[in-house]
Structure formats: structure tokens, C-alpha cells
Amino acid sequence: MPEQLSIVELISNASLVVQLVMASLGLASIISWGMIFQRWFYLRSVVASVDEFEDHFWSGIDLQKYAKELEDRVDLTGIEQIFVAGFREFRRLSDQSGADPESIMHGAQRAMRVALTREEEQLETHLPFLATVGSTSPYVGLFGTVWGIMNSFRSLANMSQATLASVAPGISEALVATAMGLFA
């Protein structure tokens, strides 16, 4: 009966290059999944805070009083910061004598765009890393596969009689590298 190969044995018997490829893919995968879950929890809280803000905003309350209430808080969420920035600039420009209504609105919109840009940067944290890992991991895994198959054929060239049993472990280790690249 042929001997069963475990994934642990395949990894431990793999060449150093393939082991490094697998280790880097494993590390990238662990870091990526950590970032994915962190982003998921963060985005869920952002959606909840947006819903809460909209409910409060559209409830018919006095917006000046609501803006003052928000300005006194320290833990503002993204949409609250955008609202406060726009309302603060609106009030500042409105208090100036002879201010043009159109310039007041443009100033408030500009302040809100700046606050929105800051919030977008916060929401997009870790996305470049995740995009890089997602787009390069299959190719890194493929490199490990090619390297493992090359080693299998190199060892096959040194044998007088080649059998599938002599080549299968090397090809299996190479395919593990591909699977890890796809998983990462």
C-alpha cells in the first residue's frame, strides 16, 4: 500500500525556495485576513453610525442645536465630522457682514469636501496592501509551483527508472504552493 503524504510532510520536505514562498504566502494571508476582519468590523460601525446620524438629522430637530451638540463631543464619526465641518464653515461665513449667499454655500461645500476626503482616507486604510496581496499571491504561488516541478524533474533525470511514486511528492509540494497562493 502506498504511503500517504500529509501537507505538513510536503511542506517540510519541500526545497528551501518553495518553503520560503509558502511561508511568505502564509504570512501575507494571515496579515490580510486580520486586515479584512478589522475593516469589516470598522465598516459595520460606520454604516451603523451613518444610519443613526441620518435618523437624527432627518427627525426635524434644530440643526444649529444639533451641530452645537456634536461640536461638544470628542468621538465624532465620519459623517458627523463632515456635517460639523460644513456647518461650522457655514456659520463662520454667515457671521461676516455682507457675505454673498453663494460664497457661503461654496465655502461650506469646500469644508465638507475636505472632511470627506479625510474620511475616505480613513475608510481606505489597508486597501493598497490587500489589493497587492490579492493580485500578486497567485503569481508567487505559481513561482513556487514552477520551482517545485523543476526540482521534481531534476530528480527524475537522475533516476534510472522513473515512476509516478518518485515524481508525485515533488509535484504535490508544488501544488501546495499554488493552493497557498490562491488562498492568500
Q: Supply the pTM of this predicted model.
A: 0.74
pLDDT of 136: 92
pLDDT of 5: 64
The answer on pLDDT for 143 being more than 70 is yes
What is the per-residue pLDDT across 34-58, written as a single tens digit (0 to 9) for each?
Answer: 999 999 999 999 999 999 999 989 9
pLDDT of 4: 65
Gyration radius (Cα) of the chain, Å: 29
What is the per-residue pLDDT across 109-125, written as a single tens digit (0 to 9) for each?
Answer: 999 999 999 999 999 99
